[in-house]
Amino acid sequence: MQIQLQDLPIQDLPKTNPVFEGIKVVPFYLSRPVRIIKAWQPRFLMPDLIAGVTVGLIALPQAIAFALIADLPPEMGLYATIVAAIVGALWGSTDQIQTGSVNSISILTFSSLALVAVPGSPEYILAAGMLAVMAGVLQLIIGLTRLGVLVNFVTHSVIVGFASGAAVLIAVNQVKPLLGLQFNNANLVGTLNGIVSNLPQTHWPTAIIGLGAMVVLLILRKFTPKLPGPLISMILASIVVFALGLNKQGVDVIGQLPRGLPPLAKLPLFNLELIAQLSMAALAIAAIGLIQTTAIARSIAGQTGQNVDNNQEFVGQGIANIAVGFFSGYPATASFARTAVNFKAGAKTAGSSIFAGIFVLLAMVVLAPLAVYLPKSALAGVLIIIAYGLIDRPEIIRIFHSTRSDAIIMVVTFLGTLFLRMEFAVLAGILFSFAFYILKTGLPRVFTVVPNKKFNHFVERMPGIPSCPQLGIVKISGDLYFGAVNHVEEILRQHLADNPRQRFLLLRMSGVNHCDMSGILMLESIREAYLVRGGDLFFLKVQDTVRSIMNSTGFYERLGADHFMEKDKAIGYLFNHRLDPAICIYECEARVFSECQNLPKYPFTESIQSPSRWQMADVPQISTQQLWRRITNGRPLPTIVDVREVREFERGHIPTAINRPLSVLLTNPDLLSGIAADKELIFVCRSGCRSQRAANLIKQIEGLQVQILQGGMLAWETANRLETIDQARYLQMTNLL
């Protein structure tokens, strides 16, 4: 496949610096015709000529019909198709794209111009040319400034919704000329009401001609789809009108078409009031034209392998619309149907579109006399069938089955097209596309995670999978900036409300690359909520950029380095030093973490409330060093009560310790009644939490001195103190309990 210069992306062009590159882009885009001519080869002539004639046969009746949709003279549709096809091909990016008048832009043009001038008046016609020029200027600016990437953020659902809504409006509006009814056009509801109320006044010769043209077109499509059905049906209708003299019996006809080149229009270029009135419509037409052109270009490129340059395509559409406006046309854009026909007919280069434009011009001159007998009802029938084809039912179903946002955008655009000013409907669909894009990409994703089955990775927690009743792990994917913190805080507070017993939260921050002051304030607020519960907030895998802002704002210092953890040690640290083993053993039957797997589980019938912070602070503590000295040198020896479960006690305990599991003490505190009142009790457990519970339970006994081992057996083992493993004692305690 030959690689042409236009296939090279802009970033591959010679450049020295960004400023020079920006200056060089303009002549590069505008010199597209030179590159087309240099790349053209004689072998492309016949395929392009055949494709051009084929497209021209379809474009000729469509141009006349689409002009009627816009309530403009038929020749304006022909002028738009001729000029846009040639100019759009010379400056466009994709070789097979066919530019000209289309139904969606035609109805959008009518909707916009009807509020500015009386349809059919000279002001209305000049406003149509101005609208084309204004839309073209906007498209040209977007292309030359390389803003074509913005179109990528508008979903395909806008086109589908608008095309479906436009199809309904086209079909409903064409019922009036199809049946020869006489009433003033209104909005959708008013038009439907006018049709129903005026139905008895149907002009039957007109209706029979229109319905007959529809039947002929449907038969041709079914049995000879390769023939230009619309053109044949319109020619046959013209012959019938001529033969029977129906134009003299009230059948409305097109009338004489001009013979000659598109004339230069004298547009009111400096009418600021008109420009202001048309500005919103020009923006909508420019946008829908660019979106439609991009969709067509991508579709064709997927089959030809061409590299589509959106900006070059927009330059082509912009110059085409400017030329159309000055040469007595109205806004145009790429056509889905004619582009598909052009491609299937074997078009090789942009020359096919040029040939199509020339053919329409020649056909207009040759067939102009027939237009005197061309009935408008036949055109209306053709348009109704074309409108029906605009409703892409399989695509609508696909969108409904895809994502909620796409479905909403499509429905909003569709309903807006039916019941609002059409330019508002288009822009509303585009704004919804941007809004959903921002919601998807601008707002962080916040979700709960749990360890996988191998405990070597965190995965999103699905419904039905248990979570830890004490520790929540939440991952944030996205930046914590001022526009997103409310979203994140709402989710975290909802998590807090949904898990009222969780006192600790571990935030996985690997997906957060930026955090501003609003994010810091939000994290401080969330931490305070956990502190009130007697818990705390911890962080895992904080990025350097985020840690920097935490340092500069003092947030890191206030929490302390122990709140920022490494991946492999976070759960182990929190499990051994922060979580309450009593809840793990007596109230939680789940084994969420690897540390839970060998933990004894004794479901307790009564809820074990965590002691408050001031109750815990009231309990005296003894260090491992002090207790070791008491055991080895102290007289009298203290009574050491290990409140862990039997299995834990059997694995290793402090010499001289006796085992009284907390679960037993909570139901039978009299087990310690045999200890003399002047005895000193030291409670021991794994980390200190169960000891604090036992001490708060027993210290109410008068005369008893109660202490707990600071840090529990974890601290004892860290200090390398002696442990005793006594199987006989284990069996004895098992029988006792």
Contacts of 507 (CB under 8 A, 6+ apart): 474, 475, 476, 523, 537, 538, 539, 540
Q: Identify the CA nearest to 111 among candidates 427, 321, 421, 425.
A: 421
**Superfamily for 618-736?**
Rhodanese-like domain (3.40.250.10)
Alpha helices in 305-442 (DSSP H): 310-326, 336-344, 351-367, 376-390, 393-401, 404-419, 422-442
Could you tell me the end-to-end alpha-carbon distance of the chain, in angstroms, rounded to an integer?
Answer: 86
* Burial profile 594-619: b = 16 or more Cβ within 10 angstroms, e = fewer: ebbeebeeeeeeeebebbeeeebeeb
Measured distance CA(130)–CA(266) in Å, rounded: 10
In the chain, where the domains are located: 5-433, 445-586, 618-736
What angle (nearest 5°) sits at the alpha carbon of residue 406, between those of residues 401 and 410? 105
What angle (nearest 5°) sits at the alpha carbon of residue 47, between those of residues 45 and 51? 115
The answer to whether the CB of 304 falls within 8 A of the CB of 96 is yes
Longest dimension (CA), the chain: 132
What pLDDT is recorded for position 147?
A: 85
Bridge partners (DSSP) listed for residue 708: 621, 683
What pLDDT is recorded for position 7?
A: 40
Is there a shared CATH topology between the 445-586 domain and the 618-736 domain?
no
Q: What is the mean pLDDT of each run of 10 residues along the chain (737 residues)?
A: 38 40 69 89 92 91 91 94 95 91 91 89 95 96 87 82 89 92 83 92 94 94 88 91 90 85 93 94 92 84 78 94 97 91 89 95 84 89 88 90 87 90 82 80 87 84 85 92 88 92 92 91 93 90 93 93 85 86 80 84 58 54 87 78 85 86 77 63 85 77 78 84 59 43
The answer to whether the CB of 399 falls within 8 A of the CB of 410 is yes
The answer to whether the CB of 694 falls within 8 A of the CB of 665 is yes
Helix axes 310-326, 18-30, angle to 10 degrees: 50
Measured distance CA(67)–CA(82) in Å, rounded: 13
Helix axes 188-198, 156-179, angle to 10 degrees: 20
Q: Prior bond to 636 cis, omega within 30?
A: yes
The answer to whether the CB of 712 falls within 8 A of the CB of 686 is yes
Pair of tokens at residue 597? 């797997």
Residues in the chain: 737
The answer to whether the CB of 94 falls within 8 A of the CB of 308 is yes
- 3-state SS string for 194-259: HHHHHHHHCCHHHHHHHHHHHHHHHHHHHHCCCCCHHHHHHHHHHHHHHHHCHHHCCCCECCCCCC
Strands annotated E in 45-130: 99-100
Residue with tokens 């021209």: 56
Tell me, rounded to whole angstroms, the distance of Cα 4 from its chain centroid. Answer: 35
The helix/strand/coil state of 82 is: helix
**Superfamily for 445-586?**
STAS domain (3.30.750.24)
